[in-house]
Amino acid sequence: MISEDHPRYHSLRLREMIVDAWQRGILADSGMIAHGRGEAFDYLLGEETTKPAERAIRAAAAALLLARKPVLSVNGNTAALVPGEMVKLARELKGKIEINLFHRTPRRVKLIEEVLRDKGADEVLGVDKLTHIDGIMSPRATASPDGIYSADVVLVPLEDGDRTEILRKSGKTVITVDLNPLSRTSRMASISITDNIVRAVPAITASVRELRGSEREELERILEEFDNRENLRETIKLLDIRRYNPEL
């Protein structure tokens, strides 16, 4: 057990959650690699929610509140780190939650469904009765007809660029959470939250609660004023390692 006094407590605690999820069969083997990639970016971003990420979170909350049918996607890393927070956000939105895996196996789908139900999910889509989505070059090329397939706004954390692109081309608003602002996912999304998912999901829920009751016009204004490409450009500037070591 890591002491809370350890200087890297939060990062080490997340690693423990990732390893535990892998040992339980929830996390894909390469989920470890993805987590490590994320940690590196989080280091560069200062392991805190940046101003551009705050703007993206607010825009995401506005889009989710305006949605006719919001759906939240859950993969292995998301199930390992923020299952309860995803269920809480889905409940806050009266939205649906859907499992979608790149390294899909029946066992992992079942385990992740159990995790989500244990956290209070009444309904978990993506388990069966799936529709194929053309154009996605991966096992992610499926969606539940009653979920992502018919959603108008989807939150797809820690995912892949080709699925993000196809979902966008089908007319959906695609919100991602991805610590790598250079990933295809970040570059293809409508709203790219460049933040650690453990910070981003609770922050989206808080922003939804703060904006609930806003006039439709106000929510639409937040979206109109949000420029994802400009926000990513600002984020990429923050990755300049010299921010931390001026003598470099």
Ligand X SMILES: Nc1ncnc2c1ncn2[C@@H]1O[C@H](COP(=O)(O)OP(=O)(O)OP(=O)(O)O)[C@@H](O)[C@H]1O
Query: How many CB atoms are closer than 10 A to CB 169?
Result: 11
User: Can residue 180 be called a binding residue for ligand 2JD (CB under 6 A)?
Assistant: no
191 SS3 class: strand
Sign of CA dihedral 96, 90, 141, 235: positive
Nearest residue (CB) to ligand BAL, 44 versus 141:
141
- Tell me how many degrees the CA angle 150-134-163 measures, rounded to the nearest 5: 70
Span near ligand 2JD by CB under 6 A; candidates 72-80, 144-152, 172-180, 238-246 = 72-80
Among 85, 98, 113, 160, binds ligand BAL (CB under 6 A): 160
Residue 180 among known ligand-binding residues:
yes
**Does 185 belong to an annotated binding site?**
yes
Considering Cα of 205, then 210, then 214, then 216, what sign does the dihedral take?
negative
What span, in angstroms and rounded, lies between the C-alpha atoms of 65 and 175?
13
Which one of 127, 161, 182, 236 is in contact with ligand BAL (CB under 6 A)?
161
In angstroms, the CA 248 to CA 228 distance is: 30
Query: Residue 204 Cβ, how far from ligand 2JD at the closest point, in Å?
Result: 19
143 binds ligand 2JD (CB under 6 A): no
- Residues of the shown chain interacting with ligand X in the complex, contacts defined by CB under 6 A: 34-35, 37-38, 41, 77, 81, 158-161, 177-180, 183-185, 196-197
> Can you read off the two tokens belonging to residue 194?
């460049």
CA 207 to chain CA centroid, nearest Å: 15
Find the binding residues for ligand BAL in span 58-117 (CB under 6 A).
Answer: 102
List the single partner that 75 binds among ligand 2JD, ligand X, ligand BAL, none, CB under 5 to 8 Å by kind: ligand 2JD
Interacting residue ranges for ligand 2JD, rule: CB under 6 A = 28, 30-31, 34, 75-77, 101-103, 158, 160
